[in-house]
């Protein structure tokens, strides 16, 4: 994120150029003088060979090359907005000229990554090649460009993918409205849109200068500092003293089973499938099994509607799913996740059965909520060392957080294995103790209790939710309770009050409303 001398030396060593780097004195030195006027304007064609991740500055260097060849599994993107800044090496100007304004806005504002297939279809890369053929293909392209067999067109000056000016302005205005709605307290998405528009309206070199000036300003903002802190804090959750520092190597998890295909179980199975784990879904009868499989299909099909999955990928993902009504196929499972209703005897019976059918190394994980003590689930088994809690957050296939709950007897190896699984599922795993509320609900309970106290003192629930969303939260406490399920929220709240009476607020209004309208929605209950 810094235009440092060291980063320049690294870039040039990567592309084989020996250049003496001088101290920077003016904005745009690297993006204009070096990338644009030296690399892109060079007399020899440069072709980027992309395998693996090409993100941020790495992709921006590739955008300045005269062609891009990638593998199908490569990951390309400009995720700088996640860190409170914008692409600063010409990405705001070159990406729209290669993929069009709508796609460029989507990739930058949403920090969206695309694989090689999607990159080729959008025009971001020129061709795909197998890993072993990648470098030879890139060399061939470079020779063809040099011999005028392929066009030599600097991406900064291409206009064939740019929409007409009037249409482009409408797109930028719509993007601003959307950004203000989705992230009302963030300024840098609007700055990014302004910079892209400046290049389209006034020309790419003007846009490059504005991009560089905006980057220098945004880098000093509190938003950038906070998001950078968040970035490192997320990655720090995998460093657990006494666990991750023991030198343990994660065991390979090849096959996973999910017991229970309800809302949570189907969501967990969906996320596992998307992470390329073969999944066996177990239910008690055909009716429940069919319903669970249908939920998983619906979760995957929703990704097609959003443009995040093709029909071919849907078929490939569904081929990883197998539905069963018994435990006969569990003999080679590496991990089983129990996701049935919050009933202690049911969970105890499931783990007792798993012990009979699963191999000795198999991890037994329970998607337990904060209302059930993990020790109680272990009581009817002799496998205390491999039983662990995995607290997913609804909807499982969307929410990034994953609480890994350990007891005093859970082995360190199992925790290391779960941290690795969480990483592959693109979750942010945090290891917590077996206690009331774990970590997240320990914070949420006082938050919701404060909201209930305000209602009892006459505040309107919509007013509370609106104030919270205006502050920057994705939704208010009452809307959150509605989505999570009011009974679940109340059950957890009761546990919190019983365990921490000295710092809890017991709402009398809740018990009155529950008697009046048991099982109702939160909003309807408080509006009656």
What are the residue numbers of the active site? 60, 80
Cβ neighbourhood burial of 60 (10 Å; 0-12, 13-18, 19+): buried
Helix (H, G, I), strand (E, B) or coil at 370: coil
Q: Whose CA is closest to 125, among 75, 90, 163?
A: 75
How far, in Å, are 449, 460, 461, 498 from residue 505 at the CA level?
A: 6, 19, 17, 11
CA distance 256 to 355: 15
CA distance 251 to 359: 14
Helix (H, G, I), strand (E, B) or coil at 484: helix
How many other CB atoms sit within 10 Å of the CB of residue 488?
Answer: 15
CA distance 236 to 428: 10
Backbone angles phi, psi at 324, to 5 degrees: -140, 165
Sign of the CA dihedral with 494 first, then 498, 499, and 500 last? positive
CA distance 517 to 340: 26
DSSP 30: I
Q: Whose CA is closest to 104, among 214, 199, 36?
A: 199
CA distance 300 to 267: 10
CA distance 85 to 213: 11
CA distance 227 to 93: 24
Cβ neighbourhood burial of 184 (10 Å; 0-12, 13-18, 19+): exposed
Helix (H, G, I), strand (E, B) or coil at 364: strand
CA distance 363 to 492: 26
Q: How many residues does the chain have?
A: 528
């Amino acid at each position: 994120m810094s235009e440092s001398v060291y980063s320049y030396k690294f870039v040039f060593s990567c592309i084989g150029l020996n250049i003496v780097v001088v101290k920077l004195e003016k904005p745009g030195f690297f993006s204009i003088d070096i990338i644009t006027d030296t690399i892109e304007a060079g007399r020899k064609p440069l072709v980027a060979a992309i395998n693996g991740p090409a993100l941020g500055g790495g992709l921006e260097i590739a955008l300045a090359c005269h062609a891009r060849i990638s593998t199908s599994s490569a990951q390309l993107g400009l995720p700088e907005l996640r860190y409170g800044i914008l692409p600063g090496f010409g990405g705001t100007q070159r990406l729209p000229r290669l993929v069009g304004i709508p796609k460029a806005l989507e990739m930058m504002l949403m920090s969206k990554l695309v694989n090689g297939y999607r990159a080729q279809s959008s025009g971001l890369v020129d061709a795909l090649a197998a890993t072993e053929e990648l470098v030879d293909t890139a060399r061939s392209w470079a020779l063809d460009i040099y011999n005028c067999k392929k066009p030599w067109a600097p991406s900064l000056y291409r206009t064939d993918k740019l929409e007409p000016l009037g249409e482009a302005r409408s797109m930028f205005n719509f993007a601003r409205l959307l950004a203000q709605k989705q992230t009302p307290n963030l300024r840098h998405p609007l700055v990014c849109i302004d910079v892209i528009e400046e290049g389209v309206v006034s020309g790419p070199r003007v846009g490059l200068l504005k991009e560089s000036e905006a980057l220098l300003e945004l880098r000093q903002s509190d938003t950038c500092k906070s998001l950078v802190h968040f970035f490192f804090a997320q990655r720090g959750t995998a460093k657990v003293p006494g666990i991750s520092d023991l030198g343990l190597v994660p065991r390979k998890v090849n096959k996973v089973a999910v017991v229970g295909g309800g809302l949570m179980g189907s969501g967990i199975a969906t996320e596992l499938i998307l992470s390329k784990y073969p999944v066996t879904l177990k239910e008690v009868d055909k009716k429940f099994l069919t319903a669970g499989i249908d939920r998983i299909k619906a979760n995957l099909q929703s990704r097609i509607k959003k443009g995040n999955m093709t029909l071919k990928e849907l078929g490939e993902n569904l081929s990883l799913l197998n539905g069963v009504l018994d435990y006969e196929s569990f003999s080679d499972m590496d991990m089983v996740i129990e996701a049935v209703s919050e009933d202690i005897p049911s969970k105890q019976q499931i783990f007792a059965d798993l012990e009979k059918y699963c191999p000795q190394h198999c991890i037994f994980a329970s998607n337990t909520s904060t209302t059930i003590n993990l020790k109680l689930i272990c009581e009817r088994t002799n496998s205390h060392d491999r039983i662990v809690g995995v607290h997913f957050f609804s909807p499982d296939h969307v929410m990034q957080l994953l609480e890994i709950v350990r007891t005093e007897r859970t082995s360190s190896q199992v925790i290391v294995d779960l941290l690795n699984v969480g990483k592959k599922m693109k979750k942010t795993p945090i290891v917590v103790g077996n206690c009331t509320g774990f970590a997240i609900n320990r914070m949420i309970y006082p938050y919701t209790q404060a909201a209930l106290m305000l209602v009892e003192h006459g505040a309107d629930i919509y007013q509370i939710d609106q104030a919270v969303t205006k502050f920057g939260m994705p939704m208010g406490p009452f809307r959150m309770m509605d989505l999570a399920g009011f009974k679940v929220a109340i059950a957890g709240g009761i546990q919190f009050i019983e365990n921490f009476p000295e710092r809890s607020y017991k709402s009398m209004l809740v018990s009155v409303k529950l008697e009046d309208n048991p099982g109702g929605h939160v909003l309807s209950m408080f509006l009656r």
